[in-house]
Structure 1
Amino acid sequence: MSPTPPPSVRRVACIGAGVIGGGWVAHFLARGYDVTAWDPAPDAEDKLRRLVTAAWPALEQLGLAEGASPSRLTMAPTLDEAVADAEFVQESAPEKLELKRDLLAQLDAATPPGVVIASSTSGYPMTDMQTAAATPGRLVVGHPFNPPYLIPLVEVAGGERTDRTAVEWAAEFYEAAGKSVITMDRELPGFIANRLQEALWREALHMVANGEATVEDIDTSITEGPGLRWAFMGPMLTFALAGGEGGMAHMLDHFGPSLKSPWTRLEAPELDRALRDAVVDGCDRAADGRTYAQLVAERDQGVIDVLRATGRLDGPAR
């Protein structure tokens, strides 16, 4: 799709230099890329360089690529100049659908043929954003998490008119750029992580509104509870361990009926055989051959390491 193989990309254009766009700039600089940025705000360059300066100490702790330097940032005076020699484009404009449509169409017209253009949208499907572009096949979603220079995850998805090769190219590029990538097989409004965050957020608001829990209660329930495990073992594998040696199969067969209990304001899906088998098989793949005892040991050590790293347990992490 792109004239440059993903591992060989050296110049990236970042369009939009706010919190998310600036975070992308910092990340790409730390990975040793030459970055050209553009933002229409008159004070954009000053704000962007301050953001990069503020992020750099954290990036140094994470480890800089060879040749990484803030001096490899160039601020272009126009959008066309910003993408003129780009080998990849990351768009991070405000979350307004019409703005995204128009901007992606402009980027498509100005960017060299074949170069993949990714949007940092946090919720819009690419199908809705690519309608005005002349060559929509190279437009993908590359949804990061704030700050992009610190949080590894990026979710990659195409739209109805996106070429699959563009999705695959983008996923390979992000991996080469040091990101942890989920390549989605289909479009889903809000993608995966935001939908999970949103479910938790809505239930939290219900509890506060109904006087069922305070803000402090809710935050403590996560930071001192499941959040400790989620840092290294997601909710699905965590629940599988709750099934003991029987794993997720036992968990679902034993606790499945509780899905009908009114524990949340979200309606539970029907736990039919197909859903049960999909979840059990997925957990088996995630375990990747590790035994129940091995998974328990990993979980326990992980919680201890997180507690020590966050100053809640004395002694050095292993």
Structure 2
Amino acid sequence: MGTAAGEGADRATDRGADARVVVLVAGGPDGPRPRVHPAGEPLLLADDLAAVRGDGCFETLLMVGGRPAKPERHLTRLGRSAAALGLTGPTAGEWGAGIALAAREWGPDSEAMVRLVLSRGPERGGPETAYITVAPVGPHAVRARAEGIAVTVLGRGFPADFAASAPWMLLGAKTLSYAANMAALRHAAADGYDDVVYLSSEGEVLEGPRSTILIARSGELVSPPAEVGILEGTTLGALAEVAEREGVPVRRERLLLSDLLTADAVWLLSSVTLAARVRRIDDVTLDGAYPGVDVAGMVDRAVGRA
């Protein structure tokens, strides 16, 4: 397993904005056991299939006050992704031990982004590669939480029922094949936008390249269902539990772009940025009034920030 920041007892006191700690899952007589890997030393072989084919899966979670946010949800989804790819990977307990070591290495003083990575391993043959990286939460995420974002709408090029008819496309898995998502974000940035909302070929709202879409409408919260071929959001799931306790209905419903444009408010939810309110969709500025539902506050409570 692995994670991000310094190195063991010798790590620097001042990590700096770009510091990392990497924890490697090493084999042993009792199964995989985590250890700290020096951040400045190579970790992957040149033919690791994560690097040459994106053949693997990952999860990213937030660490707040030295504690990982909703790790069980992430480990459950990682297990589903690994199964879809035909990978075994460490057990949830073994990943958990790596996360705990990463948290001790990072410390409680600042929020961190924790990424769990599972690769099929070297192309030449050999065991799967599993590691965790930890890094500071970047300024883009902090700014998006505080100020909101402008998004552009892009077509994904396939119908909403494509996941059911083409399971080999792995649309419900969080795979390492992220080149298209990153290209979409660069395309958006070049046009002055912060993020992207994907639509199906029929015009149904899907998800963002790294986020779940949520709207407020008449006092309830609505998000597209997983059946339209999107990744099931762990932040949405945690939010829904808090919302239920606080009497706010959360429903899953197929949405169109018009539903976003006429909603009381729109957010992109993700594990690190958390809740980024959408202020503009292409050339349409959204109503900035309070929608009657404190989504950001409920997300903070769901992940232990409040």
Bigger CA radius of gyration: 1
TM-score by structure 1 length?
A: 0.30
Higher strand proportion (structure 1 or 2): 2
Q: Which has the higher helix share?
A: 1
Pick 1 or 2: higher relative contact order, CA cutoff 8 A, min separation 6. Answer: 2
User: TM-score, normalised on structure 2?
Assistant: 0.31
